[in-house]
Chain A
């Protein structure tokens, strides 16, 4: 593969895309599974029981994957674009800088969360195993976090080609370790106890409890939007990417979320993290399993996050011209190190707010992208408009597409009306039947189509004018199999 295409702002040609199903599955699964699954699973236990909760969180995650994959995967596998560049049609050439800021903040936030989680839970595990005297020392947490940052940088040092091999290896190992954890839970506590355990702190209305869990799944999966383009652009074709991505980002993540749910229900003090009571019950062997799981799962996810972050940075031509791939990797990891060393505790104290920020913004982004790509453009983008900053196709008004910003405002407003994203309290009764991310995405998509069709010239001037593909003879999306 042309390393410049893989590491910079140029697209990857179809002939250079080498990832098969295993590589796509491995990397999406590697990205999705991390210790945050335990934390979210522990949160689910507050609202519902094990049976309903496991179905709701897996199904909710799949629904979120439906939205984020439909938005990000088709343009990525067809045009080789990642998240930032894929929003040029919806937000404009300069408007897509907003996406860059959004992606950098969210990816840096996720990577910081993972690194701090790994530092904290790694220190606790080492303490429980008797390797260190104390688990609460700043130095221990920071040291483990820094080691994970170094490991991530080393893995990506020779370019994203490492992902193809490292992703599946990490994913398979983590799957085996997660299976051991699930077997431990079932043999130690039994199905009956897990499924009969009451929810820890449910709200009075059962339908609202159920929908909050579904919404957690949807919002968590929509947060994969910045990762999807960066990963699936390497897939050999669209068909190769679809099922492995659903399995990696949806099913597998849902299963690991269920581990956190079960652990929190039977041992509420664990808050969803089964590692400590696994060590108490099983000693060093299970402790090693837990430690390996945490290291591999978190480093695997951070690796994909840093790759996506570096790639997003290099979508700006001025940055691409100055930063090499290695420099972009370092620039992507430095803010994570800064958060870890300087503000780890305050940052984690506002973890919920950060999650809300990702959920509120990315659903609407997905909604308008789906409307734009499928409804308005029939899966046909202008390749010159995507890659040439001087092209007028996606410049709209001064480089900004007003339809995209109106749609974003409509989607964010809808979300906030449906659900208070900070306190996770429903704003209207309809939330219990509709969730918040789904209506936000629909509102954003509808507003986008209306404005694009209402403002004269907005749509017509941004439609593809140059034939970019010999097979592109007419607007016939989804009418024939790709092979």
Chain B
């Protein structure tokens, strides 16, 4: 049986949300997926 929408929303009103993207995770994403690739691209352009 499918849970009632109101009951589901009430559960979320308590403490069932996940975490926001914290600063550490954001910095990890920024460095690994943005900074390092940009530096690698510049290095490969100059030296390869």
Q: Which residues of A contact B (CB under 8 A)?
A: 2, 4-5, 8, 10-11, 13-15, 17, 49, 51-52, 55-56, 58-60, 62-63, 65-66, 69-70, 73-74, 77-80, 210, 214, 237-239, 242-243, 246, 250, 379, 383-384, 387-388, 466-472, 477-483
CB closest chain-A residue, reference B24: A481
Give B21 Cβ to nearest chain A Cβ, in Å: 4
**Which interface residue of A379, A383, A388 has the most chain B CB atoms within 10 A?**
A383
Q: Give B3 Cβ to nearest chain A Cβ, in Å.
A: 6
- Closest A residue, CB atoms, query B23: A478
Which residues on B are within 8 Å of A, measured CB to CB? 2-3, 5, 8-9, 11-26, 28-30, 32-34, 36-38, 40-41, 43-45, 48
Q: Closest CB-CB distance, B6 to chain A, in whole Å?
A: 9
Chain B contact residues, majority secondary structure: helix
Please name the residue on chain A nearest to B14 by beta carbon: A470
A70 to B11, CA, bound (A): 27
**B44 contacts A479, CB within 8 Å?**
no
State in angstroms the CA–CA spacing of A49 and B18 once bound together: 44
Residue numbers in B under 8 Å from A384 (CB-CB): 9
- Known interface pairs A56-B41, A59-B40; A246-B33 also in contact (CB < 8 Å): yes
Question: Can you offer 5 A-B residue contacts whose CB atoms are under 8 A?
Answer: A78-B19, A79-B18, A242-B28, A379-B21, A388-B9
User: Please, which residues of chain A bring their CB within 8 A of the CB of B18?
Assistant: 14, 17, 77-80, 237-238
Asked if A69 contacts B12 (CB within 8 A), the reply is no
Instruction: State the CA gap A482–B19 with chains docked (Å).
Output: 6
What B residues does A379 contact at CB under 8 A?
20-21
Question: Do B34 and A63 touch (CB < 8 A)?
Answer: yes
Of B16, B19, B38, which is in contact with the most chain A CB atoms at under 10 Å from its CB? Answer: B19
Contact of B8 among A210, A246, A387, A483 (CB under 8 A): A387
**Chain A positions within 8 Å of B17 at CB level:** 14, 78-79, 383, 468-469, 471-472
Which of B20, B38, B43, B45 sits near A238, CB closer than 8 Å? B20
* Shortest Cβ distance from A14 into B: residue: B18
CA distance A246 to B35 in the complex (A): 13
* Chain B residues, Cβ within 8 Å of A15: 16
**A10 contacts across to B, CB distance below 8 A:** 2-3, 8
CB distance from B48 to the nearest CB of A (A): 4
B29 in complex: contacting residue of A13, A246, A480, CB < 8 Å: A246
Contacts of B40 in A (CB 8 A): 55, 58-59
Q: Is the CB of A66 within 8 A of B34?
A: yes
